[in-house]
Amino acid sequence: MCEAIPDCMVTGYEDFMRCLTLPDPDDRHVLAAAIVGHADAIVTNNVKDFPLEALTPHDIDLQTPDQFIVNQLTLHPPRAIKALREMRLRWNNPKHTPESLVVLFEQRGMPLTAVRLSESVGIL
Q: Which element (helix H / strand E) includes 42?
A: strand 41-43
Between CA 70 and CA 115 the distance in angstroms is: 9
For the cut 80, the answer to whether the pLDDT of residue 4 exceeds it is: no
What residue numbers bound the domain in which 114 lies? 66-118
- Pair (32, 72) in one structural domain: no
- Pair (98, 76) in one structural domain: yes
Quickly state the pLDDT bin for 31 (edges 50, 70, 90): very high
The percent of residues in the chain predicted with pLDDT above 70, rounded, is 99
Between CA 44 and CA 89 the distance in angstroms is: 25
Which tens digits make up the pLDDT trace of 53-97?
999 999 999 999 999 999 999 999 999 999 999 999 999 999 999
Instruction: Say if 5 falls within a structural domain.
Output: no
For the cut 80, the answer to whether the pLDDT of residue 2 exceeds it is: no
Name the pTM for this structure. 0.85
Contact between 113 and 105 under an 8 Å Cβ cutoff? The reply is yes
Domain total in the chain: 2
